[in-house]
Amino acid sequence: MSERPVVGVGAVVWKDDQVLMIRRGNSPGKGQWSIPGGKQEFGETTKAAAIREVLEETGVDIELLGLIGVYDSISPDGHFTLINYAARWMNGTPVHGGDALDARYMTIADIDSLEIWADVRAAIDLSRTLL
């Protein structure tokens, strides 16, 4: 485990009335559904990291709409500071890549049927105010 928090950046991507979701391929939350995102790289802005991670994990180009929030996740898996943005689909069809096991658009009803982290659900709900 690192002695410093890892910065993770994600995006709630909307296409019409659906949200782009990925099934996580790595811990924390391996196998769970979440929003696309990943680690910020040295020298990269959080906005650039969000755009890059969505493209790497899903093949989808996005436009960022604004900051949703910053969350801390501290568990046996490590300490993560998570920065989430709201975004709009610009181009591309979801195809999982990077460390995502699956990528697809889901309705809110679909998402309601999943067991997802409370912070992910809060980010999805808050992102609607930026559309």
Q: Work out the average pLDDT over 30-38.
A: 95
Task: Copy the structure tokens of residue 130.
Answer: 């930026």
Distance from chain centroid for Cα 56: 12
Q: Which residue segments constitute the domains of the chain, with CATH numbers given?
A: 6-130 (3.90.79.10)
Three-state DSSP at 109 gives helix
Measured CA to CA, the distance from residue 38 to residue 19 in angstroms comes to: 17
pLDDT at 27: 79
Higher pLDDT: 63 or 119? It is 63
Specify the pTM.
0.93
Query: pLDDT per residue over 65-87, tens digit each?
Result: 999 999 998 888 789 999 999 99
Query: pLDDT per residue over 76-115, tens digit each?
Result: 878 999 999 999 999 999 999 888 999 999 999 999 999 9
pLDDT at 131: 82
Measured CA to CA, the distance from residue 34 to residue 6 in angstroms comes to: 18
Burial classification of residue 51, based on how many CB atoms lie within 10 Å of its CB (0-12 exposed, 13-18 middle, 19 or more buried): buried
pLDDT at 1: 58
